[in-house]
Every structure is written in C-alpha cells, then in structure tokens.
Amino acid sequence: MKKPDLKEILLWGIALLYLGSCGFMFDNGDDGDYLHCDWLPGREQCGTFVDERDSMVYKWIKLGSQVWMAQNLNYAPEVHKQLSFTQPRYYLDSTNLEKGNEHGALYNWTAAMEVCPHGWRLPSNQDWQELIDFAGGEAKAGYKLKSSTEWGYDRGGDNYNFTALASGKIESDFSYYIRREGSYWWSSTEYSEFYAYNYQLSSGDAIAQNFQYEKKVGFSVRCIKGAVIEKEVLAGRVIISENDLVLAPQQSYSLEAVVIPYHAVDKSMIWSSSDTAVIKVAANGTITSHQLGYATITATPKVGGKADSCVIWVKNSFMDERDSNSYFYIEIGDQTWMAENLRYLPSVFIQGDSSTEEPRYYVFGLTRGNIASIKFEKAKELENYLKYGVLYNYPAALEACPAGWHLPNAAEWQELLDFTGADSQNHAFLKSINGWHSGNIGGNGEDLFGFNALPGGAFIDESYEGLLLDSYWWGTGDESTPPLFHFSLFYGPNSPPALNIESSDGLSIRCVKSLESPTEPEDFEELENSDDSEEPENLEDPEELDDTEDVEDSEELADSEEAQIED
C-alpha cells in the first residue's frame, strides 16, 4: 500500500476544511427536507399573486397549514425620513431607491400592522412559532429559511423557497444596519406600549429568535395569508398624538389618534370632552376652545377596548415685545403667573464664563464643545431652549422679565403654594402631567392649576444637572428669607435636597404680573377736601417757572446747534 506523502495529506486537510466550512461536517440544520417549486400557475404548494395597490407580483408558498409570502413586502406609498412610535412610517435604505427591489421596504410597527395586501395580514408570534416548528425548531429553522446567497457567511439552504434575505434594518437613531448580517421581521404581537416582538435570523448561526424592539425602528414585513382577527378577539386601544397641548381661546386643532392593532379593530372611535364649556370636540377629533380652563379629551375605540385621553388647557397669552416670544399665562388666586419658563435670550454663555456680577444666560446642554457649531440664533432652535427656556444667573434674573411683569419675591411664591396647596408633600399640583423622570416614586404631576412646571434642570457650579429631574426658579428674598431666594421642585413627591445656590448659577424664571400702579396719589382725597384758600408751601411762581424753562430750552438749542456746526 502506498504511503501518502506530505503533499497529499495537506490537500486532504484543505478539502476537509473546505467541506466543513460549507456545512457538510457540522450540523447546520439541513436534514434533507426540501420543497421544490417552479412557481407555475395551478400549483398547490406555491404560486404568485398581484397586489392590487401597485400591481407588484409576489411569490407565495404553503408550509404546513400556513401560506406565506415568499419574499419581503415592497409596498411604500411614501418614504419618511423621521421615526415615529404612533404614526405609520415607511423607510427605504440608501441602496433601495427603486420599487421592485427584492429586499423590500422597511416599516415601523404601526405601518406594518396595516400594510399587508387585502387577504393577507401581519403574522403574530403564534404564526411565527408555527413556521419555526415546521422548519425543525429554533436550532434548525434559520438554515432552512435563509437564502443560499447574499449572506456574509453561514448561508442557508433555502429548503422551502422562503428565501430569507439579509435585508438589514433601520435603527432607533435612524442609522441603517448593513445588509448581509441579518433578517428582521415584525410580529403583530405587542410587548408593551412602545415595544413589539420581532423575529430575526442572523449571519453566523442557524437559530431563529424573537426579541422585543422599539416600535419606531424599521423592519421588513412578511405577510401570511388569512382573514384578519375578529373584532371580538382583540378590541385594541387608542393612542392620542398630543399630550402637552395648550390652546388660546377660540382656537381649533385637529387631534390625531391611532388604534392599535390596526388589523384587529374597526378604526373608528368615539371622541368626548369632560367640559364642553371649555373645549368641544367633533366626531373627527377636531377640538375648539371656548373659554379659559381645561378639559380631558378622550378617544374610545368604537368596538370597545382601552381608551386614551389627554388634558388640554385653554390659556391667555401675551407677546414679549423685545423678541416676539409669546407666553401663555394663568390666573391662580389673586396672582397672574406665566405658565411657561422665560425664553428671553439677549446673548448666550457657556461653561467657564460665569459671573456673580454681570448678567449671564445659558441654554441647558450648550457647552464649549458645541457652541462653535451653533451660532447664537441657532441656540433658539434647540429643543431645550424651546421647551425649558433659558437659565439665568441672578444679575440677569433681576432684569429679565418683560415690561409689566417682575421676578416674584419669596412672599409671592409662598402665596402660590398656599393657594394651590402645593406644600412640600403636594408638589404634584404644580408639576406637568408629562415629561418628568418616573422612578419608584414621584414622577409626573397633576397640573391642577395649569402652572405646567417642567423639569428643566439648572446650571450649578459650572455644570448642567437635573434635566428631567428638577426645576429651579429664581426669586427675590425678604426679611425672613436669604437674599438669593429660589423655589424648586423634584421628581419625587417631596422637596428636592437643599442646594447652596450662588448668584453665578443659572436657574429658570417664572415671571408674575405686576399690579397696575394707581392713577392718583393715595392722599388724593385729602388734597381734594383741603381748604382751597391755603396755598401749598414751596410752590414756585408759575410765571417764574415758565421763564426758567424757556431759558433752559434756549441754552439746550444753542448747544445743539454748536454741536452740529462742529460736526
């Protein structure tokens, strides 16, 4: 017998390694179970159909008792560049710009719930699991369902012509996760208000897995044939698009609401208002404000299920003539308060440029690192500026309020707390109903009086802190309080920990309306009732006064003319 030489041994070794890399030596899920399909009409196991919406032709296959589309859905009535949890969104990656691409479009969960053609629906977790069981279970299904091409490595056998392509996904930051790495499909089964299930195959293994993802991301859709779920099975729920809406009197606004899940319910809903004297709502969700106050607007699925509601305030507003910013304001007891933080921003400063004597104005999060790329006017477009306003040091706070308004003193803050009952245990009465960090305790408030306190944080000791957690506002002190008085709210139910606030720190401002000055002196009646024959003391002779004024006017005119000649 011929003894193999070293060269033959090496060749056999290379061949064995090659075969192993192709899956012949290791368990890749292929057990010889195949479905062959020629896609000809009249076949029971496979075929084609036309989507009447755009005339696209799709392949289908029958696997067990199920009929699946054999390719990803490609229907996209429009293309979006922004993510959304509640509004339907259709995404295309940069290489998928033409209809007919075999990878299909990508959809957020809301769009996926209603996008399948007539007679087809988005598969549920139960549907996906039945498919996986048919294909040999989680450990083997991935290999049998994956296509034999276009995967980075560990391609599939495409045993059933399911032809799962590695089509990628749109991430939560709107970045595109590259192809050749994974297949991601939506399930109609919800996990929570903002998450839903998906099924995915990954490059590198034969496992089929399900996970929970944010509903706003973009995944592929594979539809399954069958009637929609009966209404009685799942009524669904409503999500209203607005949660922080404020209207002026006699203003109209169209609310939008979506019913989840789309395929399980009649999409129509019933709208109602808790106080029609304040806000009326039409059958299509259009609201109209009539008088000051607030009302709870509720939308309920017509077939029953979980309703959603939002509180909407109707408030007066005024314009700051310095920069044309408009502010809502609210009357609370005998006081009139701004219902949002001041946004007056004559200039902008950053960390390392604080002062205890000169005015300083900060926008939360604006640092030395990003100020170079954000011009002054651009700072007014930042979300933190628009939502939470400006953070002022104490010298700036003393002169920041618009004409007719002023920085509240400690007594005025206390009057607000006394009237609202928002003592150290009931700060929820002043806090907004949305936007606060939700821990084990505390979180969002009740906003019973429309003060709408938002957690805008502060600029303390040269650093930004407390966004979504705390609110801090300047006030002026009196005999019983420190000169640098401030009022604060915390995300918990009680007052925030005491902080050593310095005049260089940046806090928010809520201005209170100044009382109108009396048009007559307080002792007017005494003067009116006094003896007319008595001449008031120290009054100058009117004629002498006129002469004096004439002389002064002449001198000023002469000086002005001389100045013009010199110029």
Q: Is residue 22 included in any domain, yes or no?
A: no
Task: Name the residue range of residue 273's domain.
Answer: 237-314
pLDDT at position 231 over 50: no
In angstroms, the CA 427 to CA 489 distance is 7
pLDDT at position 430 over 60: yes
pLDDT at 358: 96
Task: Write the DSSP string, 239-265.
Answer: EES-SS-EE-TT-EEE--EEEESGGGS
Query: How do residues 26-75 score in pLDDT, each as one tens digit?
Result: 334 455 556 667 666 566 788 899 999 999 999 999 999 999 999 999 99
What is this structure's pTM?
Answer: 0.53
Percent helix, strand, coil in the chain (nearest 5)? 20, 25, 55
Whether 474 and 325 map to the same domain: the answer is: yes
Q: Is residue 546 included in any domain, yes or no?
A: no
- What is the average per-residue pLDDT within 191-219? 82
pLDDT at 482: 72
pLDDT at 235: 42
In sequence order, the 6+-apart residues with CB closer than 8 A to the CB of 113 are: 122, 188, 260, 261, 262, 263
- What is the average per-residue pLDDT within 125-129? 91
Whether 468 and 504 map to the same domain: the answer is: yes
Whether 117 and 262 map to the same domain: the answer is: no
Q: Is residue 10 included in any domain, yes or no?
A: no
pLDDT at 81: 83
pLDDT at 180: 62
Whether 360 and 287 map to the same domain: the answer is: no
In angstroms, the CA 543 to CA 549 distance is 10
- What is the average per-residue pLDDT within 190-214? 80
Q: What is the CATH number of the domain that holds 292?
A: 2.60.40.1080
pLDDT at 150: 74
Residue that terminates a domain, selected from 314, 348, 366: 314
Whether 400 and 501 map to the same domain: the answer is: yes
- What is the average per-residue pLDDT within 113-132? 92
Total domains, the chain:
3
Whether 155 and 123 map to the same domain: the answer is: yes
Task: Write the DSSP string, 108-151.
Answer: -HHHHTT-SPTTEE---HHHHHHHHHHTT-HHHHHHHHB-SSS-
Query: How do residues 364-382 score in pLDDT, each as one tens digit?
Result: 988 766 665 566 778 898 8
**Under 8 Å between Cβ of 233 and 265:** no
Cα angle vertex 290, ends 287, 295, to 5°?
60
Q: Is residue 232 included in any domain, yes or no?
A: no
Residue that terminates a domain, selected from 273, 298, 314: 314
pLDDT at 422: 84
Whether 297 and 332 map to the same domain: the answer is: no
pLDDT at 72: 94
pLDDT at 315: 95
Whether 411 and 287 map to the same domain: the answer is: no
543 compared with 392, residue with greater pLDDT: 392
Query: How do residues 241-268 score in pLDDT, each as one tens digit?
Result: 666 789 999 999 988 877 665 444 456 7
Whether 122 and 209 map to the same domain: the answer is: yes
- Residue 431 gets which letter from DSSP? B
Q: Is residue 537 included in any domain, yes or no?
A: no
* Lookup: tokens for 343: 């946004």
Mean predicted lDDT score pLDDT of the chain: 79
Whether 302 and 438 map to the same domain: the answer is: no
In angstroms, the CA 253 to CA 452 distance is 20
Whether 72 and 213 map to the same domain: the answer is: yes
Whether 215 and 255 map to the same domain: the answer is: no
Q: Is residue 11 included in any domain, yes or no?
A: no
